[in-house]
Structure 1
């Protein structure tokens, strides 16, 4: 099998070398404790009396997670190896550095390794007298049926869900309220994607699944988890229609309702193709008489160099619109 080509040094050093480059590029936004190189802290986010929002997960999804650390969004992130959960210690290190005395909210995608390690960190923090809550993101509608939503994966919808929770924390709301808004945001966020090619891990440089040329997989996860089905690649409008049919059916919005939209690259899909998808998304929303309040197009939650895209729709209400509009200033995402 031919090895993939990557601009790296030693595959085993990829995450730490990436973090060194990130810290050198964004010193005004980020810092790391000397004893905790996998804990990334917002330079201007944490403050006394504020709920600390700590996110995290495996590397390889950049700008998720570390790119969303900054004032108005996440206070810290714990960084794992590629597609692997961070161990409990960097999670605890991130929380301790961000803690301002008002409790800690952990947010991350619903994956078994993340749940285990963040739960262990939460127990360690509780032993230190720090109240900790957890909200799992479960926006991937392809990964489990509607009646089993708590089993779904968290994918690109993280961007909107983290944004809402980060705004609530930045506004000085108490832990109960920040947790409630985070759960509310998650419940009203819907994502579905399509993969066109595999990605490869830096250590192996071999595709992590086999997807023949000319085929696509609807609903594939951001680590290569199986989707709904494989079939011949179809035109962009047809793919978009299938995704939007599924999202609109589950969202059950009324004419005049407002939404936020994300058309996300899984890694190697270029902006040209994303905007073709977005043209159809926008047409479908207009046909449904829904008002688009905010749109993001680009690589926001990637899967290394995987080709493909996902579409996320957040069903806004007045509260979520305020949270989405709240200013933030992160290393890789700014608003307001």
Structure 2
């Protein structure tokens, strides 16, 4: 009969006694990449399971020892797309044996203040996503990680990191072509006011296709990519004798607000009077009340690529600081 474990918290020493191995072997068993024979690993894992043991990963990280921790630095989750991407990314990391650790910030100042704290962790990689202004914050955090990844913040040419992003320029092109194919003559663009990055890339792709077709475009810049901003922008665009006959919104949240402004406030028919295209393909875009045509971001591919970069780094020891552009897809629904 095994020795009874006293106290509330099971320790590595307890697991070692039950498994009949040394404490250092228990530690190596729960250290990613450490050398342990399969026979002894099974002994330790079985003892840990019986005792309900959970390794103190944080203590190992702070002690500067090997860890499987991947830091994720993220801004406010105001757009449902970000929450979906974070969910898929976390699942992928766990499937590969990594421990995702979230650092949430609201402003560039917050990001600076958290740098000293993040640098205490011996993380495999740091992933930056959903933060604006993206370039400055990404540069700060790229210097704190052996394998920095900038996820879906656009093409940042002056950041030494692995850039994994949707091809937002191509996404804007797809939106423009969809509206032109429907016969749009007076298209408008509602985009978010940002330093650079994904919204400017989407807008640039949209304008490029229209310029090639010789079609003029009305552009309206809003302060934030919210439902309220899309609603207000649409009322402004339509306040005149010759409003647009098609609108491309920089994200689906703005498109939802625009749809309600067009139909509920202005009494217009979509798409007969005004066609609408959004961007992201959040769950709300497919709801029966909206059914918005949109540009779908490849969320599963984005998460898979980011994690594969970390796995390759762990395998080869070489940081691949290149840019991966993943193609989006136009989803046709009732608004075009």
Asked whether the two chains share a fold, i.e. TM above 0.5, the reply is no
- Normalised by the length of structure 2, the TM-score is 0.33
Question: Larger relative contact order (C-alpha < 8 A, sep ≥ 6)?
Answer: 1
- Tell me which structure has the larger Cα radius of gyration: 2
Higher helix share goes to which structure?
2
